[in-house]
Structure 1
Amino acid sequence: MKLFLLKFFTWWSGQTFGTQLWTWRFGELVGKDEMGNTYYRTKGGVIDPTLGFQRRWVVYNGYAEASKVPPSWHGWLHHTVDVAPTEESYVEKEWQKPHQPNLTGTPYAYRPAGSTLASGHRPKATGDYQPWTPGS
């Protein structure tokens, strides 16, 4: 029963019942990426008259986080390229990096030197800082 209710009321842990129904009725599977996300478009690639372009969407495998979409699929989802990576021989560019999850808010988040969260205390000023005092 819990899983059934979660499909109605939560979108962050997988597709909702509404998305599942929309995908079943109007969607056409385009492909799947290495992380298990599935990509859809309107059946037959029909152009939506209200939008003026084809609807495309992703159903995430697990927690819904946009950074889980690889660069190859990101271009297709955002209409930067017209051909999906499964419909062509996509070759990754040398500058493309592998996926890293968004670590903001976790103990593994990036904390640069000088951050109060990096080591628990801020390092002393290097002498180039002149504090403002009233009347000066």
Structure 2
Amino acid sequence: MSTIGRTLKNVMKVGPANALKQMNYIGDTKWGRLVGVDANGNQYFENNDEISGRERWVEYASVDPDSGDIAPEWHGWLARIVQEPPTEMKIEAQKFWGQPTPNFTGTRKAYRTYSTTKPKVSAWEPIVKARQ
């Protein structure tokens, strides 16, 4: 979290609606230069006045954001692997990039391990007495 003065300054620059959206998704208010938009509609921003490591960020286009929505070329820019954004570089898609796999944690498609051994401990089942 940032200081109250910094937060108020950022709210004035990005507007109240966008500031509330940022607080909901990233837990902070930020403003910066729009660097580019990827094929998924995600917007990438940069502000060199921020603390090191927090000067580049993404605002997801989807309501349910997942880190797998970030394209590989933009990931390299966000992680500071390359200094120029993909809009200024000529990057061709590589065959090994493929499509991102969504995160299925907490859904029916979540990975569950399979075990052939019997559990050593059985679950506790309470005995309920009838009411009197």
TM over 0.5: yes
Task: Indicate the residue corresponding to 1:105 in structure 2.
Answer: 106
Alpha-carbon displacement from aligned partner over 1:46-103 (angstroms, at most 9, x marks no partner): 465x53x781111111223222212111110010011111111211221112122111
CA distance in 1 between counterparts of 2:21 and 2:36 reads: 25
The DSSP-based 3-state class of the residue aligned with 1:85 is coil
The structure, 1 or 2, with the larger RCO (C-alpha pairs under 8 Å, 6+ apart) is 1
Count the aligned residue pairs: 101
Structure 1, gaps ≥5 residues long? 116-121, 126-130, 132-136
- Bigger proportion of residues as strand: 1
Q: Name the % identity.
A: 31
- Bigger proportion of residues as helix: 1
CA distance in 1 between counterparts of 2:91 and 2:98 reads: 15
Seen in structure 2, the aligned counterparts of structure 1 residues 57 and 8 have a Cα distance that, compared at 3 Å, is closer
Task: Indicate the residue corresponding to 2:37 in structure 1.
Answer: 32
Seen in structure 2, the aligned counterparts of structure 1 residues 10 and 78 have a Cα distance that, compared at 3 Å, is same
Structure 2, gaps ≥5 residues long? 1-16, 121-132
Alpha-carbon displacement from aligned partner over 1:113-132 (angstroms, at most 9, x marks no partner): xx2xxxxxx5479xxxxx9x
Task: Indicate the residue corresponding to 2:55 in structure 1.
Answer: 55
Q: TM-score, normalised by structure 2?
A: 0.60
Q: TM-score, normalised by structure 1?
A: 0.59
Task: Indicate the residue corresponding to 2:89 in structure 1.
Answer: 88
